[in-house]
Amino acid sequence: MPTHQSPEQLASLLRELSKLPKETEWVEFKHHNDNPPMIGEYISALANSAALLGKQSAYVVWGIADEDHALLGTKFKPSTTRHKQQELESWLLQKIAPKIHFQFLEFEVEDRPFVILEINAANHTPVQFDGVEFIRVSSYTKKLKDHPAKERELWRTFDRVPFEQQMAAENQSEEQVLKLLDYPAYFDLTQLPLPDNRAGILNALKADRL
């Protein structure tokens, strides 16, 4: 579910991801490259690979050097980027199926701009971009149909997900999430203190994979 993250939380996430020894099947590093179809392929591939690896989210990070993972900053600004006369995020939403949650997070660290694209893992069927399913093979983005062993394992992964852990609703606003969930009962049953703000409540629910 989407939750607000403070600048400090985003800086911490950036540094944790930059510590990875290399790009993985669930993390991609970029400096300035902002090609929209490429981003769409990453969303599909990383969402599917995250599901295969049991990860809740996958990430594309702009502003990190490929070689040594130095924090360089980026010129990419998704909030003002347009493609085919549309806002970038709107164009991507039209091309991704089934609809999954992803969000561009823009922030600064040491006066340098960075962007993290956070992508929810696929949850019941492979994610497509423009009608094609993609997957990560090591640090490369490939068509899923060209890797039948990974395709079979991905479907087995979906089959193994218990009903209770499957997505109940997608693309809900924060207000809708709190209306749909009886969160006071959750905090009462878990004997946890009820946070005094919406961000705290959502972060606690997310941490428990709700």
Helices vs. strands in the chain: H and E counts, helices first: 7, 10
Please report, for the chain, the start and end positions of each structural domain, with discontinuous segments joined by +. 7-169, 172-210
* Mean pLDDT of all residues belonging to the chain: 86
Instruction: Give the pLDDT confidence score for residue 5 in this predicted structure.
Output: 80
The structure tokens listed for 33 are 């490259």
Instruction: Give the pLDDT confidence score for residue 169 in this predicted structure.
Output: 53
35: left (phi over 0), alpha (psi -120 to 50) or beta: beta
Other residues' Cβ atoms within 10 Å of the Cβ of residue 190: 10
Closest by CA position to 177, among listed 201, 207, 161, 196: 201
Instruction: Give the pLDDT confidence score for residue 201 in this predicted structure.
Output: 76
Q: Which CATH architecture has domain 7-169?
A: 2-Layer Sandwich (3.30)
The mean pLDDT of 123-135, rounded to a whole number, is 96
The mean pLDDT of 132-140, rounded to a whole number, is 94
pLDDT tens-digit profile of 152-187? 999 999 987 554 444 555 555 667 667 767 677 767
94: left (phi over 0), alpha (psi -120 to 50) or beta: alpha
The structure tokens listed for 203 are 């972060």
